[in-house]
Amino acid sequence: MAGEIKGLPNAPPTATTPRAASSTTGTSTAPATSAGSRPIDQIIFTDAAVSLQRLDSFIRGLPVTDGARVGVIREQIADGRYQIDDARVADKFIKFELLYHRASSNDGYQASA
C-alpha cells in the first residue's frame, strides 16, 4: 500500500460533537476546557476505515506461500513426476497480458461488466 494508517482503535469509533464556530456576537461555543488548556482536536475513523485496517492486518498475517503445496511439488520434482503443462502456462501469460494492457490503457480503472 502506498500509505499506511497505524494506531487505529480496536473498538468502533464513537460519535462526538464537533467544535462549533464562533457565533455572530464573537463568543466561542467550543467545548469547555480547564483553565489554561486548549480544546482537544479529535479524529474519528469511519466504520469502513476501521474495517479496512482490520482486513489489512489479516492479509498481512497470511503466509505468502502455501507450504503444503510447495512440499507436494518438491516431492514430485525429486521423484521426476512433476510435469509442466505448457498450454496452461501460455494461457496464464496471455490472460495476464490482456488484463495488464486493459488496466494500463484505462489508468487502472475498469467499468464493471
Q: pLDDT tens-digit profile of 24-51? A: 444 444 555 555 678 888 888 899 999 9
Instruction: Specify whether the CB–CB gap between 51 and 14 falls below 8 A.
Output: no
Q: What is the pLDDT of residue 51?
A: 92
Residue 24 lies in a domain: no
User: Which pTM does this prediction carry?
Assistant: 0.34
Domain that holds residue 101: 47-105
Instruction: Specify whether the CB–CB gap between 46 and 9 falls below 8 A.
Output: no
* Phi, then psi, of 87 in degrees rounded to 5: -65, -40
Cell 497470511, residue located:
62
Question: What's the one-letter identity of residue 2?
Answer: A
d(CA 102, CA 53): 29
Q: What is the pLDDT of residue 83?
A: 94
Residue 63 lies in a domain: yes
Residue 75 lies in a domain: yes
Residue 71 lies in a domain: yes
Residue 80 lies in a domain: yes
Q: How many domains does the chain divide into? A: 1
Residue 58 lies in a domain: yes
CA geometry: angle 65, 69, 70, nearest 5 deg: 65
